[in-house]
Amino acid sequence: MKSRNIDIFISGAGPAGLLASISFASLGYSVICVDPHKPVTHANDAGADLRTTAFLQPAKNFMQSLDLWAELKSYAVPMEIMRIIDAAGENWPPREKTTKDFLSSDISDLPFGWNIPNWLLRRAFTEKANKYSNLELKFGLTTSSFIRRDDAAFVYLDDGSQIKAKLVIGADGRNSFIREKSQIKISRTEFSQKALTFVVTHEKPHQNASIEIHHSGGPFTFVPLADFEGKACSSVVWMESNKNIDRLLALNSKEFDKQVNNRSCSHLGKLNVISHITAWPIISQIAKQLTTKRTALIAEAAHVLPPIGAQGLNMSVADIKALYELAKDTPRLSEVQEILDKYDRSRRMDVNARVLGINTLNEVSKSSLPLAQKSRALGINFLHSSPKIRHGIMKLGLGLKERNLER
């Protein structure tokens, strides 16, 4: 049996697992990151993740500190406007009733965030990871078992190899094997929704705006991308009931395009779908604890929430940054349990609050009840009417504190 002694073992090589690997390798720790699948790094390849990530200001600053941003900035599309549109009612096609713009220039000289396709993140992160001699990526392997002891964790891979690590990090998604074997329980909410993701070109420019159009079933969101073959382009996340998603997926491409154009309220003019379509279930899930002996959970192994407000991967980056800062201040991981205790305390309140907030927003957004729809419209108007409230909500969503603002 092949045996290795390392500092940190990371299960999962999605964007969060890769970023965590780079972070700890940059501190000089020996790291092995394992995933059953090799990352898909081109948009047209089978299995490509067409979702996008809007890196908010704190996440972008962290990646800059790791010398990662230079490799991404040429692809990053700034988001300078958050446009919320209410299209309440049962009319089909829906019509815009309330439209409010939230401007990044109200609170900072910087955009709210920078939008990057997930498949591109995987490519950039993999290329960066391969530059570290103390970081090893192992694709095509799974963790078959692991044992946590006082002095170390022992990880067994399905190729028969054994890894002894000071710290194990579960970045292996919502169905985390690391979480399960650590006997960490979860709280899970099913929304009876799915989300469709695809890429469109459109007649009108997006003006670097992220646009959420709310109607019963869930929001239809445009996220700005770079132009495609001279045409304005955006990624779309369309949340709907399971029943309606199944109906949409059964349509031919011409009928699907028609439904997409109807649901968009023609806000950006005529849309053309230019990619394949992916679908995934909408749930909310939170681990009852973020750590146990020799083990930490990050990203979707720790928390899953609906794709509203660009919170998902930004929360994951906050997880990674918290662990990174603690590991940086503790030479050679000499006090692992102290690191884990501080990590759990530092992240738990923020994670719980954001999951609760996004769950509430999703329930209101998808409701077809007249009272809920009226409340949604009133809420949008209220949040926008007071500069103090508007600015406070924007800062909270970005995870900014006053001292972080760059003006």
Give CA–CA dist 123/71, Å, rounded.
10
In three-state secondary structure terms, 93 is: coil
Summarised one tens digit per residue, pLDDT across range 181-227 is 999 999 999 889 999 999 999 999 999 999 999 888 888 999 999 99
pLDDT of residue 398: 56
How sure is the predictor about 404, in pLDDT bands with cuts at 50, 70 and 90? very low
- Taking the CA atoms of the chain, what radius of gyration do you get in angstroms? 21
Average pLDDT value for residue range 370-374: 54
User: Quick one: average pLDDT of 365-373?
Assistant: 58
Q: Which residue has the tokens 């604890």?
A: 289
Q: What is the pLDDT of residue 407?
A: 33
Instruction: Calculate the dihedral angle through the C-alpha atoms of 214, 277, 93, 202, rounding to the nearest 10 degrees.
Output: 90
Q: What is the mean pLDDT of residues 385-407?
A: 49
Residues 6+ positions from 328 with CB-CB distance below 8 Å: 27
Greatest mean pLDDT among 184-188, 310-314, 401-405: 184-188
Percentage of the chain exceeding pLDDT 90: 61
Confidence of residue 119 (pLDDT cuts 50, 70, 90): confident
Q: 146-156: per-residue pLDDT in tens?
A: 999 989 999 99
Tell me what pLDDT residue 375 has. 57
Question: Domain segments of the chain: what residues?
Answer: 3-59+117-188+285-364
294 compared with 379, residue with greater pLDDT: 294
Q: How many CB atoms lie within 10 A of CB 58?
A: 18
Residue 355 has pLDDT above 90, yes or no: no
pLDDT tier at 5, thresholds 50, 70, 90: very high
pLDDT, tens only, 128-143: 999 999 999 999 999 9
Better-scored residue on pLDDT, 215 or 309: 215
**Residue 381: pLDDT band by 50, 70, 90 thresholds?**
low
pLDDT at 49: 77
Dihedrals φ, ψ of 350, to 5°?
A: -65, -45
Structure confidence at residue 51 (pLDDT): 74
- Res 365 pLDDT > 70: no
The string of pLDDT tens digits covering residues 13-41 is 999 999 999 999 999 999 999 999 988 88
DSSP state of 288: S
pLDDT of residue 399: 58
For the cut 90, the answer to whether the pLDDT of residue 244 exceeds it is yes
Q: What average pLDDT does the chain have?
A: 87
As a whole number of angstroms, the distance between CA 315 and CA 346 comes to 12
Query: What pLDDT is attached to residue 377?
Result: 53
Q: Interhelix angle for 370-385 vs 387-398, to 10°?
A: 100
User: How high is the pLDDT of residue 363?
Assistant: 73
List, in sequence order, every residue forming a beta bridge with 198; answer none if it has no partner. Answer: 236
Higher pLDDT, 97 or 47: 97
Topology of the domain covering 3-59+117-188+285-364: FAD/NAD(P)-binding domain (3.50.50)
Q: What is the pLDDT of residue 225?
A: 93
pLDDT for residue 332 is more than 80: no
Residue 378: is its pLDDT beyond 60? no
Q: In this model, does residue 402 exceed pLDDT 50?
A: no
At residue 161, does pLDDT exceed 50?
yes
- Per-residue pLDDT at 327: 93
CA dihedral (284, 222, 405, 345) in degrees, to 10, reads: 10
CA dihedral 316, 318, 321, 322 (to 10 degrees): -110
The pLDDT-based confidence of 369 (bands split at 50, 70, 90) is low
Q: Which DSSP string corresponds to 224-283?
A: EEEEETTEEEEEEEEEEEHHHHHHHHTS-HHHHHHHHHHHTTTTTSSEEE-S--EEEEEE
The residue with greater pLDDT, 394 or 81, is 81
Between 104 and 244, name the one with better pLDDT: 244
Q: Percent of the chain scored above 70 by pLDDT?
A: 88
**Is pLDDT above 50 for 253?**
yes
